[in-house]
Amino acid sequence: MTQNKKIESTSKKGGPGAQSERERLVRALGAQLSALLSASRALTAEASASFHPDLPPAAFHISVWLHAYGPAKVSRVAEAVAMDRSATSRLTSRLLELGLIKARPDPLDGRGVVLELTDRGRTKVNRSSAGKDDAFRQRISNFSDAEIELLAGLLRRFNSIPAQQDPKS
């Protein structure tokens, strides 16, 4: 019986130490997820600075989202990046001034505008993201294809589970 099976069966039985072992595993996972998020934030900050040194990281985040998902209204971008609409509007105005994004009339609603990256913006996102991509590839360089597939599958499963609402709220 593997170590995982032992823990699983002990936890199900509720035997002595089962909860403490489960709690240890959950804390260890939490620590690794925190380390992953911290490293990701650091890489994003570096990429943001190379994207444009005078823009805050949130502007880079907007640009990366537009690069990944294509043209969208400001309201959609704000929702997608979990940012206040007025802050998103200020940042997109700055991106427009710098020629990194462009706005065109919304074909479905002439009163609104749709934002999209310019060729220059797309090039800058690609260049700025290259460092993150290199760091990522370096971290998994010693992983087998099977390990990469396993990790991707576990993360996909983890990310597909909705977060629990705090019962106090």
Helix 18-51 vs helix 3-13: angle between axes, to the nearest 10 degrees?
120
Q: What CATH number does the domain located at 50-159 have?
A: 1.10.10.10
**C-alpha dihedral sign at 20, 24, 30, 34:** positive
Distance in angstroms (rounded) separating the CA atoms of residues 68 and 23:
37
Residue 163 has pLDDT above 80, yes or no: no
Strand partners, 22: none
pLDDT for the residue 34? 96
The more confidently predicted of residues 43 and 9 is 43
pLDDT for the residue 18? 67
pLDDT for the residue 10? 46
Quick check: helix, strand or coil at residue 56? coil
CA end-to-end span of the chain = 42
**Phi, psi dihedrals of residue 72, rounded to the nearest 5°:** -160, 160
Q: CB under 8 Å to 27, separation ≥6 — which residues?
A: none
The region that residue 166 occupies, defined by phi over 0 for left and psi between -120 and 50 for alpha, beta otherwise, is: beta
Residue 53 has pLDDT above 80, yes or no: yes
- State pLDDT tens for residues 1-36: 444 544 454 445 556 666 799 999 999 999 999 999
Distance in angstroms (rounded) separating the CA atoms of residues 94 and 71:
17
- State pLDDT tens for residues 130-146: 988 899 899 999 999 99
Confidence of residue 168 (pLDDT cuts 50, 70, 90): low
Mean pLDDT on 148-155:
95
- State pLDDT tens for residues 82-123: 999 999 999 999 999 999 999 999 888 878 899 999 999 999
Q: DSSP letters along 97-165, please?
A: HTTSEEEEE-SS-TTSEEEEE-HHHHHHHHHHHHHHHHHHHHHTTTS-HHHHHHHHHHHHHHHHSPPPP
User: What are the sequence ranges of the domains in the chain?
Assistant: 1-11+18-40, 50-159
Answer whether 104's CB lies under 8 Å from 116's CB. yes
